[in-house]
Chains A and B, each alone.
Chain A
């Protein structure tokens, strides 16, 4: 236990120290917090759905939770059930085999809800292409999309930015 405390003390508060270097986050942060406070009373629940990604996008969603970005400090958290979710964050080209599951997840959400299509694949099927027997389409071909975040994969800062954009649009 002592060693854990020691390590934690020595590690310090990373989210502040590194915010200077990655200033994009700081400019995003307060804005985001204000928007959430206004629209979502301090809490935005996101359901992430991988509709067929290569898993690269998922690694970067995980990164938004690490101590540098600490997306939770803005009141944003990821939830297991679509029934509690305000936002659907979808990655990957929508495969034919995931199409039904994506639609069902979307329909299970309380409305109004937000949809963010994250990554080049979600935006336009990326390297996997639309003219592909195994791909049902980009996310917007399957469900209504509010915001698209480009990148392969998008970096954590862009993901947080994209979420902000979606919130201020509602």
Chain B
């Protein structure tokens, strides 16, 4: 594969010198080292070139430069693909300038490198801790090398400074972390006037499980179990992202049958979650019939997954080098029949949903996010598509097997709850079509290539389109095939901001409907 020099050249034209790192893969998603002083101007250039921001993190140096600390950021261009930039930080008092004026979605990730690595982010508009809650010791920075993974931290006094209400008639409503339904924990602080939401402030981090720290030192075969539980409802996509990143680093090419099976699992995961969520959205608008029907279909899917693959939610079926499950002709037929039957049933339910005036009244026009707003935060997945951002890694990166499929992307415009639901209906139909195509022409080769971890210091990047949007995974290996640093980025990190924008001026009783229409992950955000 030839090295992608597009962004390096663009930076060169703007006087930003960069060095290509040989031990990072794949070459078309290069890692370029720049000077710390150019950090913010590189981000500004990416913005000018209409690139989107996908992730930002920090890492200590690898095998050859252990004493250093680096900041990393990733941008993607629809045509010219991803580029990773990194800069070495000063050894004493490491600091980096904030890029949030160019990409606001970077700010929460900057808050994370601040608290996890003790890196100062200068010029960050909101320097409050994010995952690190007020009761952690001030000097605890868990991702630093000298912080032991099993440290028992004392509980310290402290309070989180929420945004305060000002003006007459404005009141605060604190909600969570334990929510009313059966959902993940997080805290929402509403500022409201009368019935209407003025501002929503999210306080997350409650499900922080130290995943990135715990991944360190594990072998890839073991680590994938952990990575694929970053968010249990996206287990296939997270497993795939992790596998693809380690495979890129190791130069392992997986068999065509394995990638087809991965895509079948991933599209089934997309269908199951969209079906379940549409039911739940209807339930929030008191349309119980649709909820019951959708949950029935979702259960049918889970049962067939158990029968064919041994797991209702499809966990642990992907491994470095390939997959651990196969389909014989009979199973293939079963899966194909159920998939097409589901698609037909969903379509018939869809027409009932569309004709239900009570339902439509609740969803049309509720919680709109305009295209400008969506671009400014870089919304991804179905939420982005509903507002007019049609990026999809299955089309842009077209990783196998999507390179031989023609994925059709639904093009939403209005960015409201109704459009987010519409996009999800469209995606169910499209996923069913893709699954049927893949099953009809399953390549006849192996399930797995031999897995061999690369040398110490080698890293790999992968981006996978989960049902929620783009997952970014970067892995660097250390000695004896152990993972030395791995970072995972859930699309929710960005889309949570979309929800904050959507619910301004929305009546409070419509919040659950909006929240469900985004259905961002807490666990994937908090890691």
Please pick, from B178, B209, B306, the residue contacting A49 in the complex, using a CB distance under 8 A: B178
Which residue on B lies nearest to A82, using beta carbons?
Answer: B178
Interface centre among A11, A67, A92, A127 (most CB of B within 10 A): A127
A61: interface (CB < 8 Å): yes
A53-B523, A132-B214, A133-B152 known; A95 vs B207 contact (CB < 8 Å): yes
0 or 1 for each of A142-168: is its CB under 8 Å from B? (1 = yes): 000000000011010000000000000
Chain A residues in the interface with B (C-beta under 8 A):
3-4, 7-8, 11, 14, 48-63, 65-68, 78, 80, 92-93, 95-98, 100-101, 105, 126-129, 131-135, 152-153, 155
Which residue on A lies nearest to B182, using beta carbons?
Answer: A48
Please pick, from A7, A80, A152, the residue contacting B349 in the complex, using a CB distance under 8 A: A7
A55-B233, A63-B299, A101-B178 known; A134 vs B293 contact (CB < 8 Å): no
B53: interface (CB < 8 Å): no
Interface residues on B, range: 35 or more
Which residues of B lie under 8 Å from residue A61 when comparing CB positions?
182
Which residue on B lies nearest to A92, using beta carbons?
Answer: B207
B302: interface (CB < 8 Å): yes
> Do residues B233 and A101 form an inter-chain contact, with CB atoms below 8 A?
no
B313: interface (CB < 8 Å): yes
Which residues of A lie under 8 Å from residue B150 when comparing CB positions?
131-133
Task: Give Cα A67–Cα B521 distance, bound, in whole angstroms.
Answer: 26
> Do residues B296 and A128 form an inter-chain contact, with CB atoms below 8 A?
no
Please pick, from B149, B302, B522, the residue contacting A63 in the complex, using a CB distance under 8 A: B302
What 17 new A-B contacts, CB under 8 Å, besides A52-B208, A53-B207, A132-B209? Answer: A52-B207, A52-B523, A56-B232, A57-B232, A58-B182, A66-B295, A80-B180, A92-B207, A97-B205, A97-B206, A97-B208, A101-B206, A128-B229, A132-B150, A134-B142, A134-B213, A155-B306
Which residues of B lie under 8 Å from residue A8 when comparing CB positions?
289
> Do residues A54 and B296 form an inter-chain contact, with CB atoms below 8 A?
no
> Do residues B348 and A7 form an inter-chain contact, with CB atoms below 8 A?
yes
B6: interface (CB < 8 Å): no
> Do residues A53 and B184 form an inter-chain contact, with CB atoms below 8 A?
yes
A20 to chain B, nearest CB (A): 14
Which residues of A lie under 8 Å from residue B481 when comparing CB positions?
none
> Do residues B152 and A50 form an inter-chain contact, with CB atoms below 8 A?
no
0 or 1 for each of B398-416: is its CB under 8 Å from A? (1 = yes): 0000000000000000000
Task: Give Cα A55–Cα B230 distance, bound, in whole angstroms.
Answer: 9
0 or 1 for each of B141-163: is its CB under 8 Å from A? (1 = yes): 01000011111110000000000
Instruction: Please provide the chain B residues from 283 to 320 with a CB less than 8 Å away from any CB of chain A in the complex.
Output: 289, 292-293, 295-296, 298-299, 302, 306, 312-313, 315
Please pick, from A59, A63, A66, A93, the residue contacting B232 in the complex, using a CB distance under 8 A: A59
Which residue on B lies nearest to A119, using beta carbons?
Answer: B232
Which residues of B lie under 8 Å from residue A51 when comparing CB positions?
185
B276: interface (CB < 8 Å): yes
Which residues of B lie under 8 Å from residue A55 when comparing CB positions?
184, 231-233, 521-523
Which residue on A lies nearest to B352, using beta carbons?
Answer: A3
Which residues of A lie under 8 Å from residue B210 when comparing CB positions?
128, 132-135
Please pick, from A7, A80, A155, the residue contacting B181 in the complex, using a CB distance under 8 A: A80
> Do residues B313 and A153 form an inter-chain contact, with CB atoms below 8 A?
yes
Task: Give Cα A126–Cα B316 distance, bound, in whole angstroms.
Answer: 14
Instruction: Please provide the chain B residues from 418 to 437 with a CB less than 8 Å away from any CB of chain A in the complex.
Output: none
Task: Give Cα A133–Cα B208 distance, bound, in whole angstroms.
Answer: 10
Instruction: Please provide the chain B residues from 506 to 527 with a CB less than 8 Å away from any CB of chain A in the complex.
Output: 521-523, 526
Please pick, from B180, B184, B299, the residue contacting A66 in the complex, using a CB distance under 8 A: B299
Which residues of A lie under 8 Å from residue B315 when comparing CB positions?
56, 152
Please pick, from A11, A67, A98, A126, the residue contacting B207 in the complex, using a CB distance under 8 A: A98
A4 to chain B, nearest CB (A): 5
Task: Give Cα A126–Cα B146 distance, bound, in whole angstroms.
Answer: 25
A90 to chain B, nearest CB (A): 11
Which residues of A lie under 8 Å from residue B235 when comparing CB positions?
54, 56
Interface centre among B131, B148, B178, B349 (most CB of A within 10 A): B178
